[in-house]
Amino acid sequence: MSRLAKQPISIPDGVTCSFDGNVLNIKGPKGELKKPFKLNVILIEVKDGSVSFEKQVDTVFSRALIGTYASHVQNMIKGVTEGFEKKLIVEGIGFRSEVKGKELHLALGFSHPVVIGIPEGLTVTAEKNVITVSGIDKEAVSQFAAKIRAKKKPEPYKGKGIRYEGEVIQRKQGKKSA
C-alpha cells in the first residue's frame, strides 16, 4: 500500500470537503475544485477533519490507484489554500511574450506570432522574459505550462527557447574549427 495513503490527510481550517455521488468537492479561500473518483475500487471517507483511503479489493490496479488518489486530494487541498505557480523563462534574441486579454502572444522567431488561448481558472502574466502561470488546479497549471514550453523547446547549443525556471539544459559543444 502507498505510504501516502496509509496516513489520513488532514483538512485545514477554512476548507470544506464533501462527496456528491462519486465527485469530491473541496472548497477553500482561493476557490472550489471538483474531481470524480472511482469509488468501487477505493473507498474515500471524509470524517473528523480528515480524508482517509481504503482499498475495496486488493488488486494491482487498486494498489496503484490508492496512492494516486491520495496525491490528487493533497494537491486539491493545497490548491484551494495556497495555489500553484509555474514560471517559464523565454530565452533568445527577439523572443518576446505578452498577454492580450485572454490570449498569450509569443514571438519565437517563426514567420508568424504564436497565439495561445488562456484556459478558464488560470492567470498568466508576462514580464520581460518570464511567463508566470498560476491557478488552483495543479493539473491545469502544469498542462498549460507544458503546452507553452512545447511551442519552442530549448535547444542544446545556445539554450534558446522556453524553459522552466530552475530547469538545467545540458549544453553540447559546437563544431570545432580547424
pLDDT at 118: 96
- Look up residue 108 and give its three cell numbers: 519565437
With 70 as the cut, is the pLDDT of residue 178 above it?
A: no
- Domains and their CATH numbers in the chain: 3-81 (3.90.930.12), 84-164 (3.90.930.12)
What are 22-61's pLDDT values in tens digits? 899 999 999 999 999 888 888 888 988 899 999 888 889 8
What percent of the chain shows pLDDT beyond 70? 99
Cα-Cα-Cα-Cα dihedral sign, residues 69, 8, 22, 77: negative
Q: What is the mean pLDDT of residues 6-27?
A: 91
Q: In terms of Cα–Cα distance, which of 164, 144, 163, 145 is closest to 154? A: 163
β-strand partners of 122: 135
What are 113-144's pLDDT values in tens digits? 999 999 999 999 999 899 999 999 999 999 99
With 90 as the cut, is the pLDDT of residue 1 above it?
A: no
Distance CA 127, CA 82 (A): 22
pLDDT at 71: 94
pLDDT at 21: 83
Asked if 117 and 102 count as a contact pair (C-beta separation under 8 A), the reply is yes
Residues in the chain: 178
Query: What does the mean pLDDT of the chain come to?
Result: 92
What share of residues in the chain are helix, strand, coil (percent, to 5)?
A: 20, 40, 40
- Look up residue 50 and give its three cell numbers: 480528515
What are 99-109's pLDDT values in tens digits? 999 999 999 99
Distance CA 128, CA 141 (A): 20
pLDDT at 33: 95
